[in-house]
């Protein structure tokens, strides 16, 4: 079994995926109290070894060993710097910038020297204004002795019922050929010629229907007294506010296309994937349930493919943030399985 150190662990979506992939979480490092408690309540970390601490205070040499080991994590990457603020002209790390979370991931790699690592981040890290930061990260990782492979993932392709794009970097210690892309497990029903043998993308229905009963009701789910409830009632499942403009026999308020964010009043359809679960959604940001209510905690957790019964610590707002910021567990499992399959 491969030992795993998790950093920037959050609520443990990636950690739970690592465990499902067969890795042993030796330690999980997370500074946010609610998230750290969530990790503890779900047994993430060997012998409850969750370190609720600023990562800058951690000495990663304590986990340096000859046995196979991996480092996983998705560091906060704001603010991005066009020049890569943590990299000197000679591509060395800068350790004294308090915002330097990409640098802290690289410091962990340098001190721990794992057999491999998995770096996760938002898709916008590939935006032209941020790409140089990622390029700097890759340059330093390679200088540290790792062959890196960049993979842009859509969670839909791996059985998650959610449109969610993320960027992963696979790092393997030593000189190797770059890894092949992880093979998808699902395919787009509209354009499935390349993967005609795979099942189609998952709809949310089978994931969230188990939580439809009264036993799971939450006070926060009721939207009936809100500003846009009448509009929500008329949005068809699988659509957003734009659909109101083309409805027959509808005389209520409509909105100019492009005048709102596309997730405004978005309503789930049970046979279709969800849009991305947000960490801090506004009051009328979807996805809403097709029964015209806000989603319940076990429903958003299920869309993020957390294991059934996974417990979250903190206020309702904190729990939403934890779940929305997490890597979908099944996506984490697929990525870590791919990493483990290619460790020398």
Which phi and psi (to 5°) does residue 151 adopt? -135, 130
> Residue 181 half-sphere exposure, CB side, CA atoms within 13 Å?
10
Angle between helices 13-20 and 329-341 (to 10 degrees): 50
Q: Looking up tokens 């992963």, which residue turns up?
A: 168
Phi, psi of 171 (to 5 degrees): -115, 130
What is the three-class DSSP state of 269? coil
Among the listed residues 18, 27, 58, 77, the single catalytic one is 77
The question of whether 77 is a catalytic residue gets the answer: yes
Those residues with Cβ within 8 angstroms of residue 34's Cβ, 6 or more apart along the chain or in another chain = 313, 314, 315, 318, 319, 322
| 179/317 Cα distance (integer angstroms) | 39
Q: What does 147-189 look like in DSSP terms, one character per residue?
A: EEEEEEEEGGGGT-SB--EEEEEEEEESS-PPPPPPPPS-B-S
Residues designated catalytic: 77
């Amino acid at each position: 079994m491969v030992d795993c150190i998790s950093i920037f662990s959050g609520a443990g979506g990636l950690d739970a995926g690592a465990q499902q992939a067969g890795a042993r979480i030796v330690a999980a490092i997370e500074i946010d109290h609610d998230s750290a408690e969530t990790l503890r309540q779900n047994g993430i970390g060997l012998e409850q070894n969750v370190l609720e601490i600023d990562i800058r205070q951690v000495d990663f040499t304590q986990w340096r060993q000859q046995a196979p080991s991996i480092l996983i994590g998705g560091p906060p990457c704001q603010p991005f710097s066009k020049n890569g603020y943590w990299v000197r002209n000679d591509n060395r790390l800068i350790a004294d910038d308090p915002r330097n979370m990409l640098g802290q991931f690289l410091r962990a790699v340098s001190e721990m020297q794992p057999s491999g690592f998995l770096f996760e981040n938002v898709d916008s890290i590939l935006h032209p204004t941020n790409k140089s930061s990622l390029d700097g990260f890759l340059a330093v990782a390679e200088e540290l002795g790792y062959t890196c492979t960049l993979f842009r993932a859509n969670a839909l392709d791996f059985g998650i019922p959610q449109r969610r794009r993320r960027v992963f970097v696979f790092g393997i210690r030593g000189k190797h050929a770059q890894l092949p892309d992880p093979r998808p497990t699902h395919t787009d029903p509209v354009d499935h010629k390349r993967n005609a043998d795979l099942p189609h993308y998952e709809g949310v229905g089978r994931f969230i229907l188990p939580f439809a009963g009264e036993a799971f009701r939450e006070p926060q789910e009721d939207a009936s007294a809100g500003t846009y409830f009448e509009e929500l009632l008329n949005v068809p499942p699988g659509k957003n506010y734009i659909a109101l403009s083309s409805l027959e026999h509808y005389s209520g308020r409509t909105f100019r296309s492009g005048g709102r964010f596309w997730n405004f009043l978005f309503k789930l359809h049970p046979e279709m994937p969800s849009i991305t679960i947000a960490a801090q959604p506004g009051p009328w940001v979807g996805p809403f349930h097709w029964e015209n209510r806000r989603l319940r905690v076990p429903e958003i957790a299920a869309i993020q493919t957390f294991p059934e019964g996974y417990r979250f610590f903190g206020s309702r707002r904190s729990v939403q943030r934890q779940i929305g910021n997490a890597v979908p567990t099944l996506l984490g499992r697929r990525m870590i399985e791919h990493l483990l399959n290619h460790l020398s």
